[in-house]
Chains A and B, each alone.
Chain A
Amino acid sequence: MTAPRPAVWNPPPIALRLGDTLAEGWRNLRAQGRRSALALLGIVIGTAAIIAMLNSGHMAQRAALKLFAKLGVDMLQIQAASTGAAPAQLSRAAIEALPRHDRAVLQAVPLAIGRSAVRAHGLTADLATLAAPPALGALARLPIAAGRALRAIDDCTLATVLGAGAARALSAPAGAIAPGDTVLIGQYGYTVIGVLAPVAIETLDPVDYNLAALLPPGCAARVIPGGGPNALLVRLRDGAQGDAVGQRLIARFAAPGLSLTLLDARTILRTMQQQRAIQSRMLTAIGAVSLLVGGIGVMNVMLMSVMERRREIGLRAAIGATPADIGLLFLVEAMLLSAAGGVIGAALGGGIAYAIARGAGWTFALAPWTLALGPGAAGTIGLVFGLYPAIGAAGLAPIEALRAD
């Protein structure tokens, strides 16, 4: 017999068959019910851990940057404390000369920080006193609610600007503290010229502005021991190395009897990030292990499914399913199974991220791309772990499969 081979007709378009395959896969998974659900557990936990990790990282990042929102991250703060009896004093001239001496420094603001009992209307409040040049108001973006900010002409006058909380603490039921009122700071009567609106506390704020009385820098010795600056805020040029500049400044201001503390926004941020990196590595490890276990679970379910459905495989082969068709059916089932776990896991992970945000006091925000990542990663797991059972199913000999019971 030397007849020609029959013309094998072109296989139908894959998209058409894929639609049928998806519908069938879904039907089969539903039929398997509880066993499918159990296999999903690992995938669900794994996806949830990864989604929670990514989103809490995202929110923590936003929360951390919020701590530097007003001042920005190109900031240093140096605080001087006295190790002897005399109050800590830095040279105002040296601070003001810094931008000329150090190319990395854009601006340097001398601060004198103290604490005083402040009295008005028969009320007393224990407030931070902060004597600083007018530049601080602009640098720290201090919002004026009433009256005006301190200006250069206020130097050495008895003028003060009160924080929102300080004003409230000194307000009698009869009348709130307003510009023009007099408050007693230490032994001196100061005229209130302005009141600040409430401000959020940030990491590099030298005092809590809400509970502070701001004073002009001249004649601060009336209420702050020594009167001279005992701290400074430094704004760095873009791209300056915060820790290196900080070390330089520490060396410049070092003097006997002084202990200097450096706060560097970038270093603080980095420390926070390092702590978070440990947490997220842990969550990633949990997620990866769970996904692996979940993948093995999916493989197990699919292997059992192939075993149980050998007759079906044989029948499908007999009526025209190619090995690729059969492999695809089981692969699609594995991927659907895993992706379903991924969807549930993504929802759970979103919930965990919400709980973490509530616990940490962060604003809850989901990065939408992470939600797509969950089912995507899970589907990939399904693809990888479904491959082996699918190849097994595709390789079954039709007559063996038909004979199975």
Chain B
Amino acid sequence: MGVVVLELADVSKVYRQAERVVPVLQDISFSVARGELCALVGPSGSGKTSLLNLIGLLDRPSAGTLAIDGARVTDCSAAAAARLRNRLIGFVFQSFHLLPRLTAWQNVALPLQYRGVPRARQRAQAEAMLARLGLADRSTHLPGQLSGGQNQRVAIARALIGSPRLLLADEPTGSLDSATGREVMALLAALHAELGLTIVIVTHDQQVAAACPRRIALRDGRLAGSADE
């Protein structure tokens, strides 16, 4: 295993519902090395998305620690977490989460905006990223004018624009037909191969999981096994 990008130690998450405490994740420990492409699999309700939210610094663990690039990230403020997300993490969502009123390049440029990159540079970088993903001629289209596959590629461009250490994808093919889904997976695999990008994909799609060299399985909020090929 190479340089560790992501490390979880005894991470637990509980939700409080009225008087009851509902454990969602219990004692999760694993690490992901730079350049790994792993799938986080498990039946629905097993805590995959909750775990991804913790890794993505969108939520905080109830116990345990989490480190990205060897730095502890579990107990920082909301603002500091936002800046860490901007710098370290790229997100790809099942439903794309593109802002409908922004053109493709404006959507891609959003993370740069929160980094304080000047507007002219934002556009140049966003268009360059879209061109790399084969969407050069779509940069001024609105999401409503693009197909699902194109929208997901715009979303991937947005995730990549900030050169993240970690790309987190939550069911990236879930809203796409199987052919388009395979294209998107092929794109992610190509990015992984070309850029040496570290990617964690949450999926319950066997084909998607099979395309990943490493699979981390969850069951009832516990690690059910980690398989490498």
Residues of A within 8 A of B (CB): 1-6, 8-9, 11-13, 16-17, 19-20, 27-28, 31, 311-312, 314-325, 397-399, 402
- Check B72 against A1 for contact (C-beta < 8 Å): yes
CA distance A20 to B72 in the complex (A): 31
Give 9 A-B pairs besides A6-B88, A320-B83 with Cβ atoms closer than 8 angstroms: A1-B72, A3-B70, A17-B114, A17-B116, A31-B101, A315-B93, A318-B56, A320-B114, A323-B78
Shortest C-beta distance, B208 to chain A (Å), equals: 21
Say which residue of B59, B73, B117 sits within 8 Å of A6 (CB atoms).
B73
Shortest C-beta distance, B15 to chain A (Å), equals: 11
Residue B67 lies at the interface, judged by CB distance under 8 Å to chain A: yes
- Check A399 against B59 for contact (C-beta < 8 Å): yes
Q: Chain A residues with Cβ under 8 A from B65's Cβ?
A: 1
Q: Can you list 28 pairs linking A and B with CB atoms under 8 Å apart?
A: A1-B7, A1-B65, A3-B71, A6-B68, A6-B72, A6-B84, A6-B88, A8-B84, A12-B116, A17-B116, A20-B113, A27-B101, A28-B101, A315-B97, A317-B82, A318-B85, A318-B97, A319-B86, A319-B110, A319-B158, A319-B162, A320-B114, A322-B78, A322-B82, A323-B79, A323-B82, A325-B114, A397-B59
Q: Is the interface of B mostly helix, strand, loop or mixed?
A: mixed
CA distance A12 to B84 in the complex (A): 14
Instruction: Give chain B's interface residue range (CB within 8 Å of chain A).
Output: 35 or more
CA distance A6 to B69 in the complex (A): 8
- Check B91 against A16 for contact (C-beta < 8 Å): no
- Check B71 against A5 for contact (C-beta < 8 Å): yes
**For residues 95 through 109 of chain B, which have their beta carbon under 8 Å from a beta carbon of chain A?**
97, 99, 101
- Check A4 against B85 for contact (C-beta < 8 Å): no
CA distance A319 to B80 in the complex (A): 13
Say which residue of A27, A312, A318, A322 sits within 8 Å of B91 (CB atoms).
A318
Shortest C-beta distance, A190 to chain B (Å), equals: 85
- Check B116 against A16 for contact (C-beta < 8 Å): yes
Count contacts between A and B, CB distance < 8 Å: 102
Q: Chain A residues with Cβ under 8 A from B158's Cβ?
A: 319
Q: Is the interface of A mostly helix, strand, loop or mixed?
A: helix
Q: Chain A residues with Cβ under 8 A from B59's Cβ?
A: 397-399
Q: Chain A residues with Cβ under 8 A from B80's Cβ?
A: 8
Given contacts A3-B72, A17-B113, contact A399 B53 (CB under 8 A): yes
Q: Chain B residues with Cβ under 8 A from A399's Cβ?
A: 53, 58-59
- Check B82 against A321 for contact (C-beta < 8 Å): yes
Given contacts A5-B71, A27-B101, A312-B99, contact A319 B85 (CB under 8 A): yes
**For residues 153 through 178 of chain B, which have their beta carbon under 8 Å from a beta carbon of chain A?**
158, 162
- Check B71 against A322 for contact (C-beta < 8 Å): no
- Check B91 against A316 for contact (C-beta < 8 Å): no
- Check A12 against B56 for contact (C-beta < 8 Å): no
Shortest C-beta distance, A9 to chain B (Å), equals: 6
Q: Chain B residues with Cβ under 8 A from A321's Cβ?
A: 82, 114
Shortest C-beta distance, A246 to chain B (Å), equals: 71
- Check B91 against A319 for contact (C-beta < 8 Å): yes
- Closest Cβ neighbor of B75 among chain A residues: A5
Q: Chain B residues with Cβ under 8 A from A316's Cβ?
A: 110, 114
CA distance A318 to B96 in the complex (A): 13
Shortest C-beta distance, B64 to chain A (Å), equals: 9
- Closest Cβ neighbor of A311 among chain B residues: B97
Q: Chain A residues with Cβ under 8 A from B79's Cβ?
A: 322-324
Shortest C-beta distance, A332 to chain B (Å), equals: 14
CA distance A12 to B162 in the complex (A): 15
Residue B35 lies at the interface, judged by CB distance under 8 Å to chain A: no
Query: Most chain-B Cβ atoms within 10 A of its Cβ — which of A9, A28, A319, A402?
Result: A319
- Check B97 against A402 for contact (C-beta < 8 Å): yes
Q: Chain A residues with Cβ under 8 A from B227's Cβ?
A: none
Q: Chain A residues with Cβ under 8 A from B210's Cβ?
A: none
Q: Chain B residues with Cβ under 8 A from A315's Cβ?
A: 93, 97, 99
Say which residue of A9, A20, A311 sits within 8 Å of B119 (CB atoms).
A20
